[in-house]
Amino acid sequence: MEKARHILKGLTAVLMVTVLLACMVPTAFAGFEDEIFESGGYLYSLNADKTVMIHAYSGKSKNITIPSKLDGKKVTALGESIGYLNVETIKIPAGITLIEGGAFTGAPKLKSFTVDKANKKFTAVNGILYSKDKKELVQYPFGKEGTSFTVPTGTEIIGAVAFYGCYNLGKIALPDSVRVIGASAFAGTGISTFAIPDGVKEIGFNAFSMCDALTEITIPGTVSVINMFAFDNCTSLKKINFLGSEAQWKKVRIDSYNSGLEAAEVSFVEYKGAVKTVKASAIKDTSIKFSWSKVSDASGYKVELYKGKKLEKTVYTTKTAYTFKSLKKGTSYKVNVTAYKNVNGGKAYGTGKTVSATTKVAKVTLSSVKSTKAKQIDVAWKTVSGANGYKVTYSTSKKFTKKTTKTVTVKKQKTKKTSIKKLKKGKTYYVKVAAYKTVSGKAVLGAYSAVKTVKVK
C-alpha cells in the first residue's frame, strides 16, 4: 500500500477535471482533506470504521469492476469523484452500501452501470443506476447514447447530480411519482423545456443551473421553495408557467442567485374544474371502489388515498371510478379526488372533494358449535383484528329465513366464545358468525363464517 497526501503525478489530467468540477458542482470533489491512498489504480480514503471509500480510477481499463477489497480492507462506499476519465462501464459489487452524490462526475465517457444481484442497496436498469427499490434514480451515465429519456413511473427521488452534465439529453420527462429533485440533479443538461411534477414541493440547490438551452419551465403550484442557484445561468429561459395563482407565486421562497427566473416572464394558470361528489361502494375487507362526478373539461383526476394523515397512494386516471385493493382489513380510509387540466406538460388542479370509508373486518373462522347442556349451544370462534365485536346468528332453517333467525351481539373484540340458551330440545340449528366494525355509530359487518350445524340436547 502506498500512502500519498497528494495525487500521483500520473493523475494530472484527473486533477484538471476535478478543479473544473469543483467550480461547477457544489457536491463534487472540492479539495480533499482526507488522506488519499492508491492501490491497483484506485484512489481511496478510509471511513471511520476503516472500510474503504473509492474516489477514482487511474488505470487503463475502460470496463471496470469495483473491487470488494483494497489492501485487505473491505470496500463499502463510492465517494465524491476525483475521476474515472477513460472508464465506459462500471460494475458495482455486493458490498457497496453508500454512493455519494457526485461519485461519478469525473466519468465523462461512462455509458452504463451493472450491479451485482446480491447488492442490497442498489440496482441497474438499462445501464442506469437506481436504489434497490427503484424509488431513487441515483445516476444517469454521462456518456450514455440518446437524446431523450423518460424516468420510469414509481421513481420518487432524482438524486443529487443524477443527470449533471448530460448535455446530449435535450428532453427529460419525469413521472407524477417524483417528489424530490436533488441538488444539481439536472444542472448542465441540454433540456429546452421541462415540466416539474406536482408532488415536488422544493426545487433543489443548483438543480437546473447552466441549462443554457432551457427556454420554458412549468412549475406546479405545490412548489414553495426554490433554492439557491436552482436556475442560475439559465441564459435562454424566457417563460415560466406557474400552475397556480399570482398570490401563490408571491408566497414561493426564491433564494438568491436565480438569475434565470428574474429574466423570464411568468404566466399563471388557474383551473376552476370542481369535483362535486365522491362515493364509496363495493366495500370489502381489502378493497373499496370510489366513484365521482365527471368534470366536463378535465384532462383527468388525481385520486389520493389516506390512512389517517398519511398519504398511502396516489393514482392518476381519466376515468370516474377507481378501486383501491390490498387495503388493511377493518381500517378507515379517506380519499380525495381532484380534477386537473394538462398544461405545458404539467397539471393545473381544480377543487377536490373528499369522502371517508372503512374496509370490512376479516372473515371469522367458526371453531366449534356444541350442545353440552339441555337447550343450550356453545359457540367458539377465532378473534379478528380490528373488530369491535361479533354477531352470532343462529336459525332452525339452513336458509336463515327471517322468522326462524336470531342474532346475539358480542361487544368485545377479544371475546371468542358465547353460549346461547333456551333453545328447542332436539332441534337442529344452523350457526354462523361475523365480526363487525363500528363506523359512525353503525355496525359494519364483515363476511360471515362458514355455517356449522348442531342438534340441541
Query: Stretch 432-455: mean pLDDT, rounded?
Result: 92
Q: What are phi and psi of 292, to 5 degrees?
A: -150, 165
Q: What are phi and psi of 141, to 5 degrees?
A: -60, 130
Residue 10: per-residue pLDDT: 33
111 by DSSP, 3-state: which? coil
How crowded is residue 260: how many other Cβ atoms within 10 Å of its Cβ?
A: 25
Residue 105: per-residue pLDDT: 86
pLDDT in tens, 84-122: 999 999 999 999 999 998 899 889 999 999 999 999 999
Residue 418 pLDDT > 90: yes
How many CA atoms are closer than 13 Å to the CA of 98, on its beta-carbon side?
Answer: 13
12's enclosing H/E stretch is: helix 12-24
Residue 208 pLDDT > 80: yes
Residue 34: per-residue pLDDT: 65
106's enclosing H/E stretch is: none
pLDDT averaged over every residue in the chain: 90
First to last CA, the chain: 89
CA-only gyration radius of the chain, Å: 31
- Distance between CA atoms of residues 230 and 259, nearest Å: 9
Query: Stretch 402-424: mean pLDDT, rounded?
Result: 95
The residue among 441 and 395 whose pLDDT is bigger is: 395
pLDDT in tens, 40-69: 999 999 999 999 999 999 999 999 999 999
Residue 31: per-residue pLDDT: 46
pLDDT in tens, 220-246: 999 999 999 999 999 999 999 999 999
Say which range, 21-35, 190-204, 379-393, has the weakest mean pLDDT: 21-35
User: How far lies 427's CA from each of 165, 395, 423, in Å?
Assistant: 84, 10, 8
Residue 27 pLDDT > 60: no
- Distance between CA atoms of residues 65 and 78, nearest Å: 12
Domains in the chain with CATH codes: 1-110 (no CATH), 146-270 (3.80.10.10), 278-358 (2.60.40.10), 366-455 (2.60.40.10)
User: Cβ contacts of residue 20 below 8 Å, gap of 6+?
Assistant: none
- Distance between CA atoms of residues 74 and 53, nearest Å: 9
Say which range, 20-24, 49-53, 236-240, 433-437, has the weakest mean pLDDT: 20-24
pLDDT in tens, 322-342: 999 999 988 999 999 999 999
Residue 442: per-residue pLDDT: 86
328's enclosing H/E stretch is: none
Q: 91 near 69, Cβ under 8 Å?
A: no
Q: How confident is the model at residue 33 (pLDDT cuts 50, 70, 90)?
A: low
Residues in the chain: 457
Query: Stretch 148-175: mean pLDDT, rounded?
Result: 95
- Could you tell me what percent of the chain has a pLDDT over 70? 93
- Written as one letter, the residue type at 125 is V
Residue 177 pLDDT > 50: yes
Residue 24 pLDDT > 70: no
User: How far lies 205's CA from each of 15, 20, 178, 346, in Å?
Assistant: 25, 19, 17, 22
pLDDT in tens, 233-282: 999 999 999 999 999 999 999 999 999 998 899 999 999 999 999 999 99
- Distance between CA atoms of residues 79 and 72, nearest Å: 19
Quote the distance between the C-alpha of residue 167 and its chain's center: 28
Residue 263: per-residue pLDDT: 85
Q: How confident is the model at residue 2 (pLDDT cuts 50, 70, 90)?
A: very low
Residue 374: per-residue pLDDT: 94
Return the beta strands (E) in 58-97 as ranges: 63-65, 69-70, 73-83, 89-92
* pTM (whole model) above 0.75: yes
